[in-house]
C-alpha cells in the first residue's frame, strides 16, 4: 500500500441545515492523479476549500502529509499549490507581477517566475496586464501560481473550466506530466467524466455531498467490462443449456447476457448453441461506457 | 512580515494609491497657496508674523481634517479593493502565510502612507509661510502638532475603515462610513472653541472627532488636546485586534 497524501475522516460541512459535504473519507495516494468527479453542486468545491483551510469543516478531520490541517495549516500549505474555481488575479498587474506578488510571499527566487511562465507557455504574455488576458490565459496563470512554490501536492478545482479544446488539451498534458516529471500528487476536480478518464489514475465520485465510489480508475473500468448479448429462438431453454455447460448466464427479456467474455469463448458458445439445435439470430458484444457507470452512481438526474 | 509587506508593495504598482498619498496634501497646500495669492492683502497682516502663522495653521487645518478622514476611507478601500476585485482572497489565503501578517501588512501600509501625507502637509505649510515672507516667530512645534496629532488621533478611524473594507467586499459601505465620518468631524470643528467643554462629554465615544479635537486652531488660537491622540491610538489598537480576529475566522467562499 503506497503512502497516503490526503486523508479525510468523516469530513462534513453544513450550510444552515443543508449538508453540503457528508461524512467524506477521501484517500489520495502519493503520486496519483486523483480525479474528483461529481455533478455541479455535489460538494467538490466545498471539499477543496476545506482541504486548503479556506473554510472550516462542521465535523470530521483532514490530514495532509500526515499532519492535521487544523494545527499545521501553514506547514501543509507550504507544500501545496492550489487553484480554486474561477481564476484569482490582480487585473491591473502584468502576469509577471502577479507571480511576483506570490513569489514574495512564498519566498521563492524570482527566476522561478520565468520557469513557471515557461511551463504554462505564458512567457510571451508575461508583460501584459492580466485584465486583458483571455479566460484560458488567466487559468494558466493560476496554474503557474500553483506551481510557483515547487509543491508536492497540487489541488486544482475545475482547471479546464471555460477553456477551449486546445486549452483543455494543453492543461491535461500539463497535469499528466506532474507525477512522472515532478513527483507531484495531483487532485483535480471536474464534472466531466471524459476529462477525468483521460488523466486520472484514481477516481472519487461524489454526489449530494457523499462519496459514492473511490478507487483506481482501473477498478472503475472493470465495471465497464463487455457483456456478450445473444438472441436465440428459445431463450429459456438456451439459458438452461448454457448453465448446464458451466456458463454464467442471465436473461434480460429475450436476450441472454454473459459477462467475462473473450473472443475464443464467443466463438465456442456460438458453435455449441448451433450444434445443440438453437438458432442464433444475433450475437454481439455490449460495452458499457464509463459514462453509463457514472450515471448509475449519480442517478440519471445528475447533470453532466 | 517583510515578505507580506513587499508583496503588498508590488500590488500597489500602477494604482491610484500612491498618487492619492501625494494628491491629498498637494490639494490642501495648493488650495491654500492659491487663496493667499488671491487675497494676500485681506488675510496677511504685514509685520505680525505670529498672527500670520497662526492663521495659516488654522486655514491648513480646516482643509486637512476632512481630507484626512476621507483620504483614509479611500486609501483603505483601494487597498482592500485590490484583493476583492480579482477574487484574489482565495488564492492569497491558501498560501502559507498567516492571516495575521496579511492583515498587519495592510494596516502598516495605510498608516505608513498616511505618515508621508502628514509629513508633506507639514512641509507644505512651512513652504507657504516662507513663500509669503513669514520669517519670524516660526511655530515649528505648532505646525508639526497640527499635522501629526490628527494623524495619530486618526488611528482608530484607520482601523475601523480597514476592518470594514477588508471584511465586506462591497466598498460602498466603507466609503459611505468615510463620508459620514468626515461630516461628523466637521461638526466638532464647528463647535470649537466654545463647545469644547460640551464636546468632552460625548466626543470621546466617536473616533471621528479625535483628529480635529487633538489639534484645532480657532480664531488663531491653537487648542492642543493630547488626550485625543491617546484615544486614537487606544481605539486603533483595539480595532486592529478585533478586525484581525474577525479576519482570521473569516470563511473564504
pLDDT value of residue B68: 95
Q: What is the pLDDT of residues A91-123, one digit of tens each?
A: 999 999 999 999 999 999 999 999 999 988 899
Q: Does A77 touch chain B (CB under 8 A)?
A: yes
**Interface predicted TM-score of the whole assembly (ipTM), two decimals:** 0.88
Inter-chain residue contact A90 with B6, CB threshold 8 Å: no
pLDDT value of residue A300: 58
Which segment of A73-87, A159-173, B162-176 scores lowest on mean pLDDT? A159-173
Which segment of A270-274, B110-114, B162-166, B246-250 scores lowest on mean pLDDT? A270-274
* Contact call for residues A155 and A51 (beta carbons, < 8 A): yes
* Contact call for residues A55 and B253 (beta carbons, < 8 A): yes
Q: In chain B, what's the furthest Cα-to-Cα distance?
A: 66
Average the pLDDT over A161-175 and give the result: 84
Chain A contact set for B86 (CB, 8 A): 87-91, 130
How far away is chain B from the Cα of A108, in angstroms, using its nearest Cα?
11
- What residues make up the domain containing B46? 2-249
Closest chain B residue to A129, measured at CA: B14
Q: Superfamily for A4-222?
A: P-loop containing nucleotide triphosphate hydrolases (3.40.50.300)
Q: What is the pLDDT of residues A259-280, one digit of tens each?
A: 767 788 888 888 888 888 888 8
The 3-state DSSP class for residue A278 equals: coil
What one-character-per-residue DSSP string does B46-80 give? TT-HHHHHHHHHHHHHHHHHHHHHHHHHHHHHHHH
C-alpha span between A269 and A249 (Å, rounded):
12
* Contact call for residues B213 and B203 (beta carbons, < 8 A): yes
Give the gyration radius of chain A's Cα atoms. Answer: 24
* Contact call for residues B122 and B144 (beta carbons, < 8 A): yes
Q: What is the value of pTM for the model shown?
A: 0.87
Nearest Cα residue to A293 out of A233, A232, A203, A231: A203
Any idea where the domains of chain A sit in the sequence? 4-222, 227-287
How far away is chain B from the Cα of A232, in angstroms, using its nearest Cα?
59
Average the pLDDT over A211-240 and give the result: 85
Inter-chain residue contact B88 with A93, CB threshold 8 Å: no
Residue B133 has pLDDT above 60, yes or no: yes
How far away is chain B from the Cα of A302, in angstroms, using its nearest Cα?
24
Average the pLDDT over A134-161 and give the result: 91
Interface A-B: count of C-beta contacts within 8 A: 87
Q: What is the pLDDT of residues B69-122, one digit of tens each?
A: 999 999 999 999 999 998 999 999 999 999 999 999 999 999 999 999 999 999
Q: Does A92 touch chain B (CB under 8 A)?
A: yes
Residue A1 has pLDDT above 70, yes or no: no
Residue A304 has pLDDT above 50, yes or no: no
C-alpha cell at B214: 487633538
What pLDDT band is residue B198 in, cutting at 50, 70 and 90? Answer: low
Which of A55, A101, A142 shows the shortest C-beta gap to B7? Answer: A101
Count other C-beta atoms under 10 Å from residue B133's C-beta: 12
Q: Does A78 touch chain B (CB under 8 A)?
A: yes
C-alpha cell at B150: 490628527
Q: CATH number of the domain at A227-287, out of 3.30.70.260, 1.10.3720.10, 1.20.140.90, 3.30.70.270?
A: 3.30.70.270
* Contact call for residues B138 and B50 (beta carbons, < 8 A): no
Average the pLDDT over A212-238 and give the result: 84
Domain count, chain B: 1
Q: Which B-chain residues 28-87 have CB contacts (< 8 A) with chain A?
A: 82, 85-87
Kindly state the DSSP code that residue A181 receives in the 8-state scheme. Answer: I
pLDDT value of residue A303: 47
Amino acid at each position: 500500500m503506497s503512502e497516503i497524501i490526503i486523508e479525510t475522516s468523516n469530513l462534513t460541512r453544513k450550510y444552515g441545515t443543508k449538508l453540503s459535504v457528508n461524512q467524506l473519507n477521501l484517500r489520495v495516494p502519493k503520486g496519483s492523479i486523483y480525479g474528483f468527479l461529481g455533478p455541479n453542486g455535489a460538494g467538490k468545491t466545498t471539499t477543496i476549500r476545506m482541504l486548503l483551510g479556506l473554510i472550516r469543516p462542521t465535523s470530521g478531520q483532514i490530514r495532509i502529509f500526515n499532519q492535521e490541517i487544523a494545527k499545521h495549516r501553514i506547514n501543509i500549505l507550504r507544500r501545496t499549490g492550489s487553484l480554486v474555481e474561477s481564476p484569482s488575479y490582480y487585473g491591473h498587474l502584468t502576469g509577471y507581477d502577479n507571480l511576483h506578488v506570490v513569489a514574495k510571499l512564498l519566498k521563492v527566487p524570482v527566476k522561478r517566475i520565468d520557469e513557471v511562465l515557461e511551463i504554462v507557455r505564458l512567457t510571451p504574455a508575461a508583460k501584459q496586464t492580466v485584465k486583458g488576458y483571455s479566460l484560458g490565459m488567466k487559468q494558466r496563470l493560476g496554474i503557474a501560481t500553483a506551481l510557483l512554490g515547487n509543491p508536492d501536492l497540487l489541488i486544482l478545482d475545475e482547471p479546464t473550466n471555460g477553456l477551449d479544446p486546445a486549452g483543455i488539451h494543453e492543461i491535461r498534458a500539463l497535469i499528466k506530466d506532474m507525477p512522472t516529471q515532478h513527483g507531484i500528487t495531483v487532485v483535480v476536480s471536474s464534472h466531466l467524466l471524459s476529462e477525468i478518464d483521460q488523466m486520472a489514475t484514481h477516481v472519487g465520485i461524489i454526489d449530494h455531498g457523499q462519496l459514492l465510489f473511490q478507487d483506481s480508475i482501473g477498478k472503475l473500468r472493470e465495471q465497464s467490462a463487455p457483456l456478450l448479448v445473444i438472441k436465440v429462438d428459445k431463450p429459456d431453454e438456451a439459458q438452461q443449456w448454457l448453465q448446464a455447460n458451466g456458463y454464467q448466464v442471465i436473461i434480460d427479456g429475450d436476450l441472454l447476457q454473459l459477462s467475462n467474455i473473450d473472443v475464443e469463448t464467443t466463438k465456442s458458445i456460438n458453435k455449441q448453441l448451433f450444434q445443440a439445435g438453437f438458432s442464433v439470430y444475433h450475437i454481439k458484444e455490449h460495452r458499457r461506457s464509463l459514462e453509463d457507470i457514472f450515471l448509475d452512481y449519480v442517478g440519471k438526474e445528475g447533470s453532466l | 512580515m517583510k515578505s507580506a509587506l513587499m508583496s503588498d508593495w508590488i500590488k500597489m504598482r500602477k494604482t491610484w494609491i500612491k498618487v492619492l498619498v501625494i494628491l491629498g496634501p498637494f490639494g490642501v497646500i495648493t488650495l491654500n497657496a492659491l487663496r493667499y495669492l488671491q487675497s494676500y492683502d485681506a488675510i496677511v497682516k504685514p509685520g505680525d508674523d505670529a498672527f500670520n502663522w497662526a492663521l495659516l495653521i488654522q486655514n491648513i487645518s480646516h482643509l486637512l481634517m476632512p481630507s484626512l478622514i476621507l483620504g483614509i476611507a479611500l486609501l483603505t478601500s483601494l487597498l482592500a479593493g485590490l484583493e476583492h476585485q480579482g477574487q484574489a482572497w482565495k488564492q492569497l489565503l491558501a498560501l502559507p502565510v498567516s492571516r495575521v501578517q496579511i492583515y498587519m501588512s495592510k494596516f502598516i501600509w495605510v498608516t505608513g502612507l498616511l505618515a508621508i501625507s502628514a509629513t508633506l502637509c507639514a512641509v507644505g505649510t512651512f513652504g507657504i509661510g516662507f513663500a509669503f515672507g513669514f520669517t519670524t516667530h516660526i511655530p515649528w512645534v505648532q505646525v508639526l502638532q497640527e499635522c501629526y496629532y490628527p494623524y495619530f488621533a486618526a488611528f482608530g478611524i484607520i482601523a475601523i475603515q480597514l476592518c470594514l473594507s477588508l471584511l465586506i467586499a462591497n466598498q460602498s459601505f466603507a466609503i459611505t462610513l468615510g463620508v459620514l465620518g468626515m461630516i461628523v468631524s466637521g461638526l466638532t470643528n464647528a463647535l470649537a472653541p466654545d463647545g469644547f467643554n460640551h464636546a468632552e462629554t460625548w466626543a470621546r465615544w466617536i473616533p471621528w472627532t479625535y483628529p480635529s479635537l487633538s489639534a484645532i486652531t480657532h480664531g488663531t488660537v491653537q487648542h492642543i488636546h493630547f488626550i485625543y491622540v491617546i484615544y486614537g491610538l487606544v481605539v486603533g489598537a483595539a480595532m486592529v485586534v478585533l478586525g484581525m480576529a474577525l479576519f482570521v475566522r473569516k470563511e473564504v467562499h
